Structure 1
Amino acid sequence: MIKGFKDFIMRGNVIDLAVAVVIGAAFTAIVNTFVEGLINPLIGVIFQVGDLSSWTLEVPTLSGGTSTFLVGSIVGAIINFLAVAAIVYFVFVLPMNHFKERQAAKAGVDEVPEAKLPTEQELLIQIRDLLEKNGTTSPPR
């Protein structure tokens, strides 16, 4: 049981995922500050709302009150997500992919396509043909 857990943890995918989560969390604070300090005010100027957090939509309810939709908060969250994803991709993923491609080219490792295994039907046909060739087509009694 412990060996299976160790094998699971030591797989490259799990380690890569852990690194991605840590790096993503670290950059989230930086990107959130950038978006809140620069992008949101710029969008606020374009839509003349001053700041995205004050961009709301009030809709009358059936009971006579109003319901407030925080449109600016939704747009801000989308911008934050896209900014974090873009930074992680362009700063980490893209350079790492180029690095891996260069390392593979240096090592002379080309991707070799895996040989296609015959299907069950193809195997049965081959067995039948071999039996016919050897003259043992009738089943043993």
Structure 2
Amino acid sequence: MLKGFRDFITRGNVIDLAVAVVIGAAFTAVVNAIVDGLINPLIGLVFNAQSLDEAMIVTVGEADFRFGAVLGAIITFLAVAVVVYFVFVFPMNTFREHQAAKAAAGVPTDEPLTEAELLTQIRDLLAEQGAASGRRRTDV
């Protein structure tokens, strides 16, 4: 049971996801500060309110519909999405495209060879050495 849990935790996808969550939380704090410190006051000036939370409030009976708060949440979401796209997704896609172009052109990549590829190379080198020395091994 513990071995299965350890295998699950050390799997690359779980580690990548954990890193993404931590980085996402850090970027969310930065983007929230930008939205709260810059964008909300600018929009608040237009609507003559302190922030978007206090702007565009429609009262119907006892219910307050806070359209400004919804607009602020949408702006925050879009700001986070833009930052994540241009800081993480776009550079990673560009990197992958360059790696695919290198692989298509036959340029060796930095990825390690598989065990089967290494054994094939060793076999081929041994065969070349045997042919160069004029003798051939029959027990291989």
Tell me the TM-score normalised to structure 1 length: 0.62
Where in structure 2 are the equivalents of 1:83-98 lying within 5 Å? 83-98=79-94
1:92-141 superposed Cα distances (whole Å, 9 cap, x missing partner): 1211222233234334499xxxxxxxxxxxxxxxxxxxxxxxxxxxxxxx
* Matched letter for residue 42 of structure 1: L
Partners of 2:80 and 2:30 lie apart in 1 by 9
Partners of 1:10 and 1:104 lie apart in 2 by 27
* Matched letter for residue 54 of structure 1: E
Partner of 2:17: 17
CA positional deviation for 1:32: 0.6
* Matched letter for residue 78 of structure 2: L
Where in structure 2 are the equivalents of 1:97-112 lying within 5 Å? 97-108=93-104
Partner of 1:5: 5
SS at match of 1:5: helix
- Larger proportion of helix: 2
Partners of 1:38 and 1:22 lie apart in 2 by 24
SS at match of 1:15: helix
Query: Which residues of structure 1 form unaligned runs of 5+?
Result: 61-65, 111-141
Partners of 1:97 and 1:3 lie apart in 2 by 35
Select between 18-27 and 99-108 the one with higher mean Cα deviation.
99-108
Q: Does 1:58 align with 2:65?
A: no
- Which of the pair has the greater relative contact order for Cα pairs under 8 Å at 6+ separation? 1
Partners of 2:3 and 2:99 lie apart in 1 by 31
SS at match of 1:57: strand
Q: Are the structure 2 counterparts of residues 98 and 10 from structure 1 closer, same or farther at C-alpha, using a change threshold of 3 Å?
A: farther
Query: Which residues of structure 2 form unaligned runs of 5+?
Result: 107-140
Tell me the TM-score normalised to structure 2 length: 0.63
Aligned residues: CA RMSD: 2.3
Q: Are the structure 2 counterparts of residues 109 and 25 from structure 1 closer, same or farther at C-alpha, using a change threshold of 3 Å?
A: farther
1:6-65 superposed Cα distances (whole Å, 9 cap, x missing partner): 3322333222211111111001111111001111122223334452121122111xxxxx
Q: Does 1:74 align with 2:95?
A: no
